[in-house]
C-alpha cells in the first residue's frame, strides 16, 4: 500500500503544479502568436488533453472493442461538461465570451447531432469516419482562418495589449517549455494518481466494475479538470471554456474518426444511442443555454454583454454527472435494466 499511496500523493501534487505551469505556457504562447486564449484552449489544450482518449480509442478499435472506443470518447465529453465545467464553475464562475456563444458552441451542438445521426443505424463505418475527419479539418481550418482575420483587423491594438500582460513575464521559449512540459506532466501525473487509487481500492476490496466507473472514469479527465480549474483561477476563462469545447470536438470528430478508420464499428450496445449520446447532447445544449447572457448584466471589453456559468449552474452540471454515474452503476449491477 505504501507505493500506491505515494503515487496518489505525488501524482496529485505534480498534477496541480503542472496544470498551473501549463496554463501559463498556453497563455504566453497565445499572446506571442497574437492568437486568442479561446483558440489556444480549443486547439493546443483541447488536443493535448484529448491525446490519451485518442490512443485508448485507437487501440480499442484495433482490438475490436467498439464499445470501449465510443464509450471512451462520448464518456469523456460527458465528464468534460458535467464534471469538469461543473467543478470549475463552483470554484470560480466561468465567463463565456460572445465568440464561444455565437460560433463555437453552435458548432459543437451541430457536431453532436452528426454523431447521433451516424449512430442511428447501430454502426460507425469507415465512410462515417472519413466524414467526421473532414468535418474536423473544416472546423479547425475555419477557426484558424477566422482568428487570423480578426488578428489583422485588430493589428493596431495588439502591440499595446501584448506589451502589458503575461508576455512580459515569460519569453516565447519559456512559454513553449512550460506548455510542453506541463502537458506531459499533466498526463503522467494523472496516470500515476489513477494507478495508485485503483491499487488502494482493490486492496480495500472494491470491485473492478466500480473502480472502472468511478476512479478510472474521473482519472482520464484529470488533465482537463486540472487545466480548467487553473485557468479559471487565473482569470483565463477563454482558456477554460476553450479547453472543454476543443476537447469535445476532438473526441467526437478526431478520436471517433480515427477509430472508425482503423476498424469500422459495426456492433455496439444500444445503450450508447439510447443513454450516452442523448445525455451528451442535453449537456451540450445546456452549456450553450447556461452561457447565454440572459439575466446577466456583465459587459465585456467590446461593450457587449457576456455570459457566465455561475455556481448554481455548475452545481446542476455536477449533480447531473453524479446521477449519470449512478445510473451506470445501477445498470451494471442489475438494479436498473
Identify the CATH number of the domain in which residue 142 sits: 1.20.1420.30
Answer yes or no: is 80 within a domain: yes
Domain membership of residue 314 as a residue range: 37-157+203-332
Does 195 map to a domain? Answer: no
Q: Examine residue 8 and state whether it is found in any structural domain, yes or no.
A: no
Cell numbers placing 61: 478499435
Q: How many domains does the chain have?
A: 1
Within a domain: 220 = yes
Would you say residue 231 lies in a domain?
Answer: yes
104-124 in b/e form (b: 16+ CB < 10 A) is bbebbeebbebbeebbeeeeb
Q: Is residue 68 part of a domain?
A: yes
Q: Coil, strand, or helix at residue 293?
A: coil
**Residue 48: inside a domain:** yes
Whether 121 maps to a domain, the answer reads yes
CA-nearest of 68, 19, 80 to 250 is 80
Spell out the per-residue pLDDT of the chain, length 337, in tens. 789 888 878 877 887 787 778 777 877 877 777 777 777 777 777 777 677 667 667 777 777 777 777 887 888 899 899 999 999 899 888 888 888 888 899 999 999 999 999 999 888 999 999 999 999 999 988 888 887 777 666 554 544 444 444 444 568 888 888 888 888 887 788 778 778 877 887 787 766 555 655 666 676 677 778 778 877 777 777 777 888 898 899 889 998 999 899 888 877 778 888 988 999 999 999 999 999 886 554 555 555 567 889 999 999 999 999 999 888 888 877 787 7
Amino acid at each position: 500500500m505504501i507505493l500506491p499511496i505515494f503515487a496518489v500523493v505525488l501524482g496529485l501534487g505534480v498534477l496541480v503544479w503542472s496544470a498551473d505551469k501549463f496554463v501559463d505556457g498556453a497563455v504566453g504562447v497565445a499572446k506571442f502568436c497574437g492568437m486568442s486564449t479561446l483558440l489556444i484552449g480549443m486547439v493546443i489544450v483541447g488536443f493535448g488533453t484529448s491525446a490519451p482518449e485518442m490512443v485508448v480509442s485507437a487501440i480499442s478499435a484495433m482490438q475490436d472493442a467498439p464499445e470501449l472506443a465510443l464509450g471512451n470518447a462520448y464518456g469523456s465529453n460527458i465528464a468534460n461538461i458535467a464534471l469538469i465545467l461543473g467543478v470549475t464553475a463552483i470554484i470560480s464562475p466561468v465567463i463565456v465570451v460572445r465568440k464561444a456563444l455565437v460560433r463555437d458552441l453552435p458548432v459543437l451542438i451541430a457536431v453532436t447531432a452528426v454523431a447521433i445521426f451516424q449512430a442511428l443505424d447501430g454502426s460507425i463505418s469507415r465512410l462515417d469516419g472519413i466524414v467526421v475527419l473532414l468535418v474536423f479539418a473544416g472546423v479547425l481550418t475555419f477557426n484558424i482562418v477566422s482568428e487570423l482575420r480578426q488578428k489583422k483587423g485588430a493589428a493596431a491594438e495588439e502591440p499595446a495589449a501584448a506589451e502589458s500582460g503575461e508576455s512580459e513575464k515569460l519569453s516565447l521559449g519559456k512559454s513553449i517549455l512550460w506548455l510542453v512540459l506541463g502537458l506531459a506532466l499533466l498526463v503522467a501525473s494523472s496516470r500515476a494518481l489513477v494507478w495508485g487509487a485503483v491499487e488502494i481500492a482493490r486492496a480495500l476490496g472494491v470491485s473492478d466494475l466500480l473502480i472502472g466507473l468511478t476512479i478510472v472514469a474521473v482519472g482520464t479527465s484529470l488533465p482537463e479538470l486540472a487545466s480548467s480549474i487553473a485557468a479559471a483561477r487565473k482569470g483565463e476563462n477563454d482558456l477554460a471554456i476553450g479547453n472543454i469545447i476543443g476537447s469535445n470536438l476532438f473526441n467526437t470528430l478526431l478520436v471517433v474518426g480515427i477509430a472508425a478508420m482503423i476498424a469500422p464499428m459495426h456492433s455496439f450496445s444500444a445503450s450508447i444511442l439510447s443513454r450516452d449520446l442523448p445525455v451528451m447532447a442535453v449537456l451540450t445544449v445546456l452549456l450553450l443555454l447556461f452561457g447565454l447572457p440572459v439575466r446577466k448584466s456583465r459587459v465585456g471589453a467590446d461593450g457587449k454583454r457576456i455570459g457566465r456559468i455561475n455556481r448554481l449552474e455548475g452545481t446542476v452540471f455536477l449533480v447531473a454527472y453524479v446521477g449519470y454515474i449512478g445510473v451506470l452503476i445501477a445498470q451494471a449491477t442489475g438494479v436498473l435494466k
